[in-house]
Amino acid sequence: MRDFVYYTPTKVYFGRGRENEIGNICKNYGYSRVFIVYGGQSAIRSGLLDRVKEKLAEADIIVDMAGGVQPNPRISRTREIIRLANIFNPDLILAIGGASVIDTAKTVAHGVAMPGIDVWDYHAKKAVIKKSTPVGVILTIAAAGSEMSDSAVQTNDTIDPAVKCGTNSDFNRPKFAVLDPELTFSLPQSQIGAGAADIFMHTAERYFTTAELTGNHMSDEIAEGLMRNIIRYGTIGYNDPTDYEAMSEIMWSSTISHNDITGLGTAAEKGRGGDWSCHQLGHTLSSVYDATHGASLSAVWGTWARYCMDANIERFAQYGRSVFGFSGEDDAVAREAVEETEDWFRSIGQPTNISELLGIDVTVKICEMLADNCTRGRTRTIGQLKVLGYEDVLEIYKRAR
């Protein structure tokens, strides 16, 4: 097992109706000025936004807010929300929504704490986050696990082509997260399926690593159990979004999948192991074509796996045996496991190739543009299981068409 540091400061309030405690939660922390960040109309139509405002008012907490956060959150809107938040001067940024809203709230929190720095510089690795404003979360979409993670993602829509980047910092970790599975009952099937794929991928990215970084059996047990769990309950929840047991299992799996616990001991620093190639490949598809994040991952994962599995075939075979119960020679089990995973993606309505994802004829020229964007003009490589340069990325995009 490799050395690691593990830090998870987020307090979780899980269960039915826990969002109704938001006033007391904020009051107990000593917050008095709360700036709410939310997405579109669903928080308004459902009555959740008004209910939260009412509970905060009952606790004598002053509230301001801004909405309009879109999937694959745009830095242009984030900058505008930062401007509004700085006028209000909050002591807590409260995200009501899914990952795009939470990631935006995190970025807004940095902009409030350090108004002299353009927040895109954190994502572009031109600046380091040194302080932030506390963030709280009321989760409405179980998918990316941002409610407990140290990551935040933004899309720079002010450049052409757009670029999607993430930044990691302990300052990104929310102070608290309110998780009520019933808030996800009204989600469309497409969001539940994409969320389940995203949850699976956050663990898979950490799990499929180089042979020399494997060996933490406890982390493997957690990772394999989570993948079994999301495959089982993701399917149930996809077919019946009002099944409380399934939706609660999906929500908790979301949180666990991205709080680093499934990758501990697979890296020398901070427990951050894994490959993350599929996220880089998918981020490019999301930034250029505004593709749904979870769907962008399922569209490339099978191709990536077949391209890279020879670097650690034993790991893919272990996955096949532990998650699906397959038996046989390593190579056969590994390939059967990849096919079974793709079948599961399809069963929850997710694409397994790029043409299906985008609904267009993906040409070689498009693949070349995507590969150039993904490698930042051929200036970087991605991945750990197999380090991928421009030609590798191009080949994966071409095979994934």
- Residue 215 CB: number of other CB atoms within 10 A? 12
User: Structure tokens of 313?
Assistant: 């075939």
What is the DSSP code (8-state) at residue 114?
A: -
173 neighbors 148 (Cβ within 8 angstroms): yes
Structural domains for the chain: 11-183 (3.40.50.1970), 187-399 (1.20.1090.10)
Per the DSSP assignment, residues forming a β-bridge with 33 are 62
Q: pTM for this one?
A: 0.94
The string of pLDDT tens digits covering residues 350-384 is 999 999 999 999 999 999 999 999 999 999 999 99
**Successive 10-residue mean pLDDT values, the chain, 401 residues:** 84 97 98 96 91 97 97 96 98 97 98 96 95 98 95 95 93 98 96 97 93 80 97 98 98 95 69 82 96 97 98 96 98 98 98 97 97 96 95 98 95
Q: Show the CA angle centred on residue 156, arms to residues 375 and 172, nearest 5°.
A: 95
Q: What is the pLDDT of residue 272?
A: 53
